[in-house]
Amino acid sequence: MNLPLFSEVGSQTVLVVDDQPVNLKILGQALSKDYQVLLASSGEQALRMARDQLPDLILLDIIMKDMDGYQACRQLKSDPLTQNIPIIFSTAMDSVEDEVRGLEEGATDYITKPFNVALVLARVRNQLQLKKKTDLLERLVSLDGLTEIPNRRYFEQRLEEEWRRAERGEECLCLAMADIDAFKQFNDNYGHGAGDLCLQKVARCLSSNAQRSGDLVARYGGEEFAVLLPATDLDAGRLVVERLRQSVEDLAIPHRFSPVTDVVTLSVGLACIRVSLDMEKERLWKEADKQLYGAKQAGRNRVHT
Ligand code: GH3
Ligand code: MG
Ligand code: MG
Ligand code: MG
C-alpha cells in the first residue's frame, strides 16, 4: 500500500499549479533551491500529479480554464489520499471576499498576485514546517512503537475505508489474524528482550512479504498480527497468507521450547467475504478469529480458512 505517512523523510515536495508558464517558471526556480518541485499547468494535471506523487504542499492558481482552482481544491479535499495535503491559493483575485472564500474552501493560506517571491518562500516554508510536524504526529499515532509497522488503530481505520470501498463494488475482502505459536514459552525461556526482537523480525518479515499495493499488515496486539487483503478472493488470499506463514517459518528463529517444531511459527485464521450493503463488519473478525482458533486446535503452524 502506498502509505504517504510512512514514506521516508527526505526533502519536501511542492506542486505548483498555474496556467501561465511565466508563473510556473518564476515559482519553480525560486522553490527548487530548497524543495523538490512539480509543475502542473491545469487543474486536471494537478489532480493526477497530486495522487501519484503526494506532494507536501500545493500552490494552486484559481483562475484557470476548464477546471478552476476551487474545483481542484474541492476534489483534492474529497479524496482520502490527498485531503491532508495543505493548499495555498496563489491568485490575482485579491478582494477580501475572494480570500475568505479561498480559506473557506479549505486552503491553509492565500497569496495574491503579482507575488513577491520572498513572501511566497516565507509562507511556503511555514506551511512545510507545519506539515513535517503533522506527518510526524500522524506516524506516531499510526505505527506500533516496538515493531514500527502500522498499529491496531491504523489497521481499523484502513479496514473501515476498504470495507466501504468493497461495499460499493461488491468486492471480496480478506482478513487474516496471525498469532505466534507458543510465544509464552519463548519469552519464559529466552527472555523478554529476545521476545521483543523476535516480534520485530516477524513484523518485518510479514510486511515485506505482503507485496501487493493495498495489502496491509499491522501489529494488532501482543504477538498477534492482522493482515488485510483488499479485492482478494479466498483462493488468492490463501496463497498470500500461506506464503506469509512459510516466510516466518523460513526465518528459522530458534524456539527449542515450542511443541510445534524447533523454530518460531505462526498460526493463521483467514476469512474472506464478498461485501454487500447492510453486512456487518463484525462477521469478518468473527470468522478470522474462529479460523485462528481452528488452526491452533489442529496443531498450529498452519493456515485455516
Ligand atoms: P499459542 O500458541 O496458543 O498462541 O500460545 P502463546 O504462548 O503464544 O499464547 P499466550 O497468549 O499464552 O501468550 C502470549 C505471550 O505473548 C504472552 C505475552 O507475555 C507475550 N507478549 C505479548 N506482547 C509482548 C511484547 O510486546 N513483547 C514480548 N516480549 N512478549 C509479548
Ligand atoms: Mg491562472
Ligand atoms: Mg495470542
Ligand atoms: Mg500465541
Q: What are phi and psi of 91, to 5 degrees?
A: -150, 160
Mean pLDDT confidence for 294-305:
98
Active site residue 223: yes
- ipTM of this predicted complex? 0.96
pLDDT digits 0-9 by tens, 235-285:
999 999 999 999 999 999 999 999 999 999 999 999 999 998 888 999 999
The residue from 99, 162, 223, 287 that is catalytic is: 223
Question: How high does pLDDT run on average in the chain?
Answer: 94
In the block, which residue shows the cell 489474524?
Answer: 177
Q: Is the CB of 188 under 6 A from ligand 1?
A: no
Name the residues around ion ligand 2, CB cutoff 5 A: 19, 61, 63-64
Closest CA to 88 of 120, 65, 66, 55: 120
Mean pLDDT confidence for 195-219:
95
pLDDT digits 0-9 by tens, 6-29:
454 568 999 999 999 999 999 999
pLDDT digits 0-9 by tens, 76-116:
999 989 999 999 999 999 999 999 999 999 999 999 999 99
What pLDDT, on a 0 to 100 scale, did the predictor assign at position 9? 52
Residue 202 cell numbers, joined = 516477524
Write the single-letter amino acid at 274: R
Name the 3-class secondary structure at 160: helix
pLDDT digits 0-9 by tens, 167-186:
999 899 999 999 999 999 99
Predicted confidence (pLDDT) at residue 220 exceeds the cutoff of 60? yes
Which residue's CA lies nearest to atom 10 of ligand 1? 184
**Phi-psi sector, 68: left (phi>0), alpha (psi -120 to 50), beta:** beta
Q: Is the CB of 181 under 6 A from ligand 1?
A: yes
Do strands 109-112 and 87-91 pair parallel, antiparallel, or not at all (unpaired)?
parallel
Q: How many helices (H) and strands (E) does the chain have?
A: 10, 10
CA gyration radius for the chain? 24
Bridge partners for 217 per DSSP: 227
